[in-house]
Structure 1
Amino acid sequence: MARGKIQIKRIENQTNRQVTYSKRRNGLFKKAHELTVLCDAKVSIIMISSTQKLHEYISPSSTTKQLFDQYQKAVGVDLWSSHYEKMQEHLKKLKEVNRNLRREIRQRMGESLNDLDYHQMVNLIEDMDNSLRIIRERKYKVMGNQIETGKKKLRNVEEIHRNLLLEFDARQEDPHYGLVDNEGDYNSVLGYPNRIIALRLPTNHHPSLHRVGGSDLTTFALLE
């Protein structure tokens, strides 16, 4: 089946347009390579897509500059001179801007003031006053931020200090004695480090008796 003739016009669908561009670009580069090999020709192709992507084909034995030089020689024009003149003009403008900036910096340092008239010096003073005001505002802002940061750190230190004081006060309690539940049931309580001993005597106990067989001796460990 014969292929239908494609109408040559802009492809509206962006995806189809990009696919067609990629396929035909590769085909064009392939034909250029065949022409270079078969005919010993020097071919240069520069393509820029609608997405601003650059694609280039240069004969393997040539460079872009060589081809442009041969093109200039063949048609009798100088493509580089106009470009060079534009570059020189742009460089001249940049140098002028650089000189003006350097002169302005020297004037702000109190130098090179002889070339200024009265109005220029007044404008210079106003500019420096505005610059000084901006610098001061920035300085005060930085100082304020540092003060706020210092206050936050101080609050954290004070909180840590309070917690340490509470912990210290808690540890100041006498660790050698403790409390016994059911106070009154025990006749004697002895305290030792980390431990208390409670002694319960029988109801018929007489102070002159020294036996402990009928007594109730209980040991309690203190909580840390």
Structure 2
Amino acid sequence: MVRGKVEMKRIENATSRQVTFSKRRNGLLKKAYELSVLCDAEVAVIIFSQKGRLYEFASSEMPRIVERYRKCARDAKNNTKFDRQLQLQSRVEAESINKKMELLQLSHRKLLGYGLDSCSLDELQVLDAQLQRSLFQIRARKAQLYKEQLQQLQEKERLLSEEKKKLSLKVTAHGAAAMHGCRRSPTSVVNTQLSI
């Protein structure tokens, strides 16, 4: 015969409730004993009846197990407090970073010329000063790049000028040698009269 599921609610009949308590208490204590023997676990079970009677099982000394439980509970509570503090600190840092990002985005938009309607005269003067500083830095960098480029071109011009002088000297030397060689050979003029 199959036993049906028991509905989990308080048993109204006092006699049935006492019988169920007694049977389940014994079963729970038996399971605790088996767990301690089979798995070499340290087990403690404390049960108080409805009338306040104490029933207990301990695989070793109950006070030692209870103290171990208290120590573990304190450590867990401390760890929970530390975790909460860490989470709170992380949340505060994240909110701070989000606010900074929003301010930077707003400042960036204003520097681009958007959202200036809500700005006061002082804020506009600050923006103007920032833009003037930025323009000064941009122009200084531009001038530096022009100067570097000019120096590179002047160096290139100098190298090309030197190469031109060398080539001119070679051409002059080659031309003089050719002229000198032409003077040695006898010049003869041949007159030919051709008629058809």
Normalised to the residue count of structure 1, the TM-score between the two structures is 0.46
* Deviations 1:36-86, CA, capped at 9 Å, x for gaps: xxxxxxxxxxxxxxxxxxxxxxxxxxxxxxxxxx96774423121110110
Task: Tell me the residue number matched to 2:85.
Answer: 82
* Deviations 1:67-113, CA, capped at 9 Å, x for gaps: xxx96774423121110110110111111111111111110110011
Given the alignment of the two structures, is residue 104 of structure 1 paired with residue 119 of structure 2, yes or no?
A: no
**5+ unaligned residues in a row in structure 1: which ranges?**
1-69, 179-188, 193-224
**5+ unaligned residues in a row in structure 2: which ranges?**
1-70, 187-196
- SS of 1:155's equivalent? helix
Take 1:90 and 1:121, find their aligned partners in 2: how far apart are those partners? Answer: 30
Q: 1:147 aligns with which of 134, 144, 150?
A: 150
Take 1:153 and 1:71, find their aligned partners in 2: how far apart are those partners? Answer: 80
Aligned residue pair count: 114
Q: 5 Å matches for 1:172-183?
A: 172-175=175-178
Contact 1:176/1:191 (CA < 8 Å) preserved in 2? no
Task: Tell me the residue number matched to 1:164.
Answer: 167
Q: Quick check: which one's helix share is greater? A: 2
Contact 1:177/1:191 (CA < 8 Å) preserved in 2? no
Pairwise CA distance, 1:115: 2.1
Given the alignment of the two structures, is residue 135 of structure 1 paired with residue 119 of structure 2, yes or no?
A: no
Take 2:115 and 2:86, find their aligned partners in 1: how far apart are those partners? Answer: 37
Take 2:72 and 2:98, find their aligned partners in 1: how far apart are those partners? Answer: 34
Rg larger in 1 or in 2? 2
Q: 1:123 aligns with which of 122, 126, 129?
A: 126
Letter in 2 for 1:151: Q
Take 1:177 and 1:190, find their aligned partners in 2: how far apart are those partners? Answer: 7
Q: Quick check: which one's strand share is greater? A: 1
Normalised to the residue count of structure 2, the TM-score between the two structures is 0.52
